[in-house]
C-alpha cells in the first residue's frame, strides 16, 4: 500500500503512545517463564509483540487481553509444552534471538521460522555463544533461520564477552543462564539496552566503559504486575516532527526514560533541540516520564561511537533531523544498521538520493550534504517499519509532501502511527 502525506504546518497538543517494544517483548517472556498469573498494562499490540505472544501461546501459556491489560498464565521452570508446529517469529529479531536462550533449556525440540526479512538476518551471533554453553542449536547453512534447538543435558554457565554491542545477544545468553544453578556472566564493552537486567533485577557491575552482568537460576522471575512505559523509539518520530515544524509544541506522556535508551534525547538536545523532561517516575525498575518538545533550530554535531548502541533504532529518524540541521550529517561506527529489518544504511541512503541530496555511503554509516530538490517523491520503505515512519515524517515536513511504498509495515512497531499524526495535527485547528 502507498501512503501519501501532504505537508503540515505545525503540531501541538498531547500524545499518548503505545508501550515500548523492547519492554513489551520481555514482559510477555518473563511473565510466561514465571509459574502462575501475571498482568501486563500498556503492552504494545503490534505485529512483533504478537510474534512473541503467539510463540508462548504455542508453548501452552494462556495470554489473554482483558480491557486495558493482558493476563498471562506462565508455565514455570522448564515447563513449557512442546509446540505442535514450528514457532513463527514473523519479522521480529528480538523474539527470535531472545527465545533461543529460553528454548536451549527446554526438554523438547523446536524449530524457529520467520518472514523473508528475518530469514536473512544473522542468527550465528546467538547460536555460537549458546553452543559454548552446551546448547544443541543449529542455524541454516547461511547462519540464518530456520533455527533448530534440541534438548541438551550438558548445559553449563560461561563468561561471555560480547563481540558486538547487542542487547539481543546479551539477553539470549542471560536467559539461557537463568536456567542454570551456576552463575553465567556477560561482559559488554559498550552499554547496550539493559531491560533484561533491570526487569529481572540482575546484578550488574561497571567495567571500563561497559558492564559485567551476572545471572543464575536464583534470578528466575516470579509472577507479577508489569506496567510498560510508552515507546521512546516510536516517540522519536514525533519529537523530530515537532522540532522541525515552526510554532509547534507537543507533550508526549509516560515515555520510557531508561538511560540506555535516552541517547536520542541527548543527541537532539546537543543539536539545539528544545526538549524537556517534565515529570519522572519509576515502575518495575524502569524510569519513565512526560516530555515537552518545542520547535527548534538544529545544528549537526559529531556523534560519538559510544552512543551508537543507545540510538541504534533512532538513526533513520535522526538522519531526517540531520538533513534540516546546519552542516553535514555524518554517522559512523554504525555497521549494525546493516543487520536490521532492512540494511538501514542502504535504505536511508537510497531514499535520500531521491531527494537530490549528496550522499556518501560507508560500510559503517554515511555522510549527507547538499540541498533537497522540490520534486514530490515516493520513498521506499524497504518493508522496514522505522524507514517507513522516518520518511513519513520527512514527507509531512516537505513543502511538496511525499509518499511511502509498502507503508503497512509500520504495524511491526506502531500500528496507530497515522491516527497519532492525525491527533496532533487536528489539534492545530483548535
User: So which residues are the catalytic ones?
Assistant: 313
Position 167 contacts ligand S3P (CB under 6 A): yes
- Report how many helices (DSSP H) and strands (DSSP E) the chain contains, helices first: 13, 22
Site for ligand S3P in 76-95 (CB under 6 A): 94
CA distance 119 to 112: 10
- Rounded Cα distance, 393 and 379, in Å: 12
Least distance in angstroms from the C-beta of 205 to ligand S3P = 20
Pick the closer one to ligand S3P by CB: 11 or 213. Answer: 213
Provide, rounded to whole angstroms, the least separation between the CB of residue 376 and ligand S3P.
31
In angstroms, the CA 243 to CA 246 distance is 8
Q: Of 122, 135, 48, give the one whose Cα is nearest residue 89.
A: 48
- Assess 197 for contact with ligand S3P (CB under 6 A): no
Cell readout for 136 is 544443541
Q: Which is nearer to ligand S3P, 234 or 296 (CB)?
A: 234
422 CB neighbour count, 10 Å cutoff: 11
Sheet containing 147-150: give its strands across: 87-88, 110-113, 147-150, 136-138
By CB under 6 A, name the one of 115, 197, 336, 384 that touches ligand S3P: 336
| Contact region with ligand S3P (CB under 6 A), list: 164-172, 179-187, 357-365, 422-430 | 164-172
Binding of ligand S3P by 192 (CB under 6 A) = yes
In sequence order, what are the residues at sequence separation of 6 or more whose Cβ sits closer than 8 angstroms to the Cβ of residue 187?
Answer: 159, 160, 161, 162, 207, 210, 211, 212, 213
Positive or negative, the CA dihedral 62, 63, 67, 69 is positive
Query: What distances in angstroms separate CA 302 from CA 193, 225, 262, 308, 420, one per listed residue?
Result: 22, 41, 17, 12, 31
Report in angstroms how near the CB of residue 377 gets to ligand S3P at its nearest. Answer: 27
Binding mask 17-56 for ligand S3P (x = CB under 6 A): -----x--x-------------------------------
Grid cell, residue 77, equals 521452570
CB neighbours of residue 296 within 10 Å: 19
Residue nearest to ligand S3P (CB): 22
d(CA 41, CA 189): 33
Beta-carbon neighbour count of residue 430 at 10 Å? 6
Can you say how many angstroms the Cα of residue 154 is from the centroid of all Cα atoms in its chain?
33
390 contributes a contact to ligand S3P by CB under 6 A: no
Q: How many residues bind ligand S3P (CB under 6 A)?
A: 12
Q: What's the rounded Cα separation, in Å, for the pair 323 and 326?
A: 8
Question: Considering only residues 44, 312, 377, 412, which one is a binding residue for ligand S3P as defined by CB under 6 A?
Answer: 312
CB of 158 to ligand S3P, least distance (A): 19
Considering the rule CB under 6 A, would residue 117 count as an interface residue with ligand S3P?
A: no
Give me the least distance between CB of 101 and ligand S3P, in Å please: 12
Nearer to ligand S3P, 339 or 357 (CB): 339
Nearer to ligand S3P, 117 or 171 (CB): 171
User: Judged by CB under 6 A, which stretch of 2-10, 127-135, 167-175, 280-288 contacts ligand S3P?
Assistant: 167-175
Query: Under a CB-based contact definition with an 8 Å cutoff, are residues 292 and 249 in contact?
Result: yes
Q: Which of the ranges 84-92, 165-173, 217-225, 348-356 carries the binding residues for ligand S3P, by CB under 6 A?
A: 165-173
Taking CB under 6 A as the binding criterion, the range among 113-121, 132-140, 161-169, 317-325 that sits at the site for ligand S3P is: 161-169
The torsion defined by the Cα of 188, 190, 191 and 196, in degrees rounded to 10, comes to -30
Minimum separation from the CB atom of position 247 to ligand S3P (A): 33
Residue 190 Cβ vs ligand S3P, minimum distance, rounded to whole Å: 11
Cβ 83 to ligand S3P, closest distance in Å?
A: 22
Q: Looking at 91, 168, 248, 284, which residue binds ligand S3P (CB under 6 A)?
A: 168
Q: Which grid cell sits at 244?
A: 522541525
Q: Is 394 in the site for ligand S3P (CB under 6 A)?
A: no
Q: How far, in Å, are 300, 370, 392 from residue 366 at the CA level?
A: 14, 14, 20
Residue 95 CB neighbour total at 10 angstroms: 29
- Between 150 and 266, CB nearer to ligand S3P: 266
Cell of 320: 531526517
Residue 193 engages ligand S3P in binding (rule: CB under 6 A)? yes
Residues engaged in binding ligand S3P (CB under 6 A): 22, 25, 94, 166-168, 171, 192-193, 312-313, 336
Amino acid at each position: 500500500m502507498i501512503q501519501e502525506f501532504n505537508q503540515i504546518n505545525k503540531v501541538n497538543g498531547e500524545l499518548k503512545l503505545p508501550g515500548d517494544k523492547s519492554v513489551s517483548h520481555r514482559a510477555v517472556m518473563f511473565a510466561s517463564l514465571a509459574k502462575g498469573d501475571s498482568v501486563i498494562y500498556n503492552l504494545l499490540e503490534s505485529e512483533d509483540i504478537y510474534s512473541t505472544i503467539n510463540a508462548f501461546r504455542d508453548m501452552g501459556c494462556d495470554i489473554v487481553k482483558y480491557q486495558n491489560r493482558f493476563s498471562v498464565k506462565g508455565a514455570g521452570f522448564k515447563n513449557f509444552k512442546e509446540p505442535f508446529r514450528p514457532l513463527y517469529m514473523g519479522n521480529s529479531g528480538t523474539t527470535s534471538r531472545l527465545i533461543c536462550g529460553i528454548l536451549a533449556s527446554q526438554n523438547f525440540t523446536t524449530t524457529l521460522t520467520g518472514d523473508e526479512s528475518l530469514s536473512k538476518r544473522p542468527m550465528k551471533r546467538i547460536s555460537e555463544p549458546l553452543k559454548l554453553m552446551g546448547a544443541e542449536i543449529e542455524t541454516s547453512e547461511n547462519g540464518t533461520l530456520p533455527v533448530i534447538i534440541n534438548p541438551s543435558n550438558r548445559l553449563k554457565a560461561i563468561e561471555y564477552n560480547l563481540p558486538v554491542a547487542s542487547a539481543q545477544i546479551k539477553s539470549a545468553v542471560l536467559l539461557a543462564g537463568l536456567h542454570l544453578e551456576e552463575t553465567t556472566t556477560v561482559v559488554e564493552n559498550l552499554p547496550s539496552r539493559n531491560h533484561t537486567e533491570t526487569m529481572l533485577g540482575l546484578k550488574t557491575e561497571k567495567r571500563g566503559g561497559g558492564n559485567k552482568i551476572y545471572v543464575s537460576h536464583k534470578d528466575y522471575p516470579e509472577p507479577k504486575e508489569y506496567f510498560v512505559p510508552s515507546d521512546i523509539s516510536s516517540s522519536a518520530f514525533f519529537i523530530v516532527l515537532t522540532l522541525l515544524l515552526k510554532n509547534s509544541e507537543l507533550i508526549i506522556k509516560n515515555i520510557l526514560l531508561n538511560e540506555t535508551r535516552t541517547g536520542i534525547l541527548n543527541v537532539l538536545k546537543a543539536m539545539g533541540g528544545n526538549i524537556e523532561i517534565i515529570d519522572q517516575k519509576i515502575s518495575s525498575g524502569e524510569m519513565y516520564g512526560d516530555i515537552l518538545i518545542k520547535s527548534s533550530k538544529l545544528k549537526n554535531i559529531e556523534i560519538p561511537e559510544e552512543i551508537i548502541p543507545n540510538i541504534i533504532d533512532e538513526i533513520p529518524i535522526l538522519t531526517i533531523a540531520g538533513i534540516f540541521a546546519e552542516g553535514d550529517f555524518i554517522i559512523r561506527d554504525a555497521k549494525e544498521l546493516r543487520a536490521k529489518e532492512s540494511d538501514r544504511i542502504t535504505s536511508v541512503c537510497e531514499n535520500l538520493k531521491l531527494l537530490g541530496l549528496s550522499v556518501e555511503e560507508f560500510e559503517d554509516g554515511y555522510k549527507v550534504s547538499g540541498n533537497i530538490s522540490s520534486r514530490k517523491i515516493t520513498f521506499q520503505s524497504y518493508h522496514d517499519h522505522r524507514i517507513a515512519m522516518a520518511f513519513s515524517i520527512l514527507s509531512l515536513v516537505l513543502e511538496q509532501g511525499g509518499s511511502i511504498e509498502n507503508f503497512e509495515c509500520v504495524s511491526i512497531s506502531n500500528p496507530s502511527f497515522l491516527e497519532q499524526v492525525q491527533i496532533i495535527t487536528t489539534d492545530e485547528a483548535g
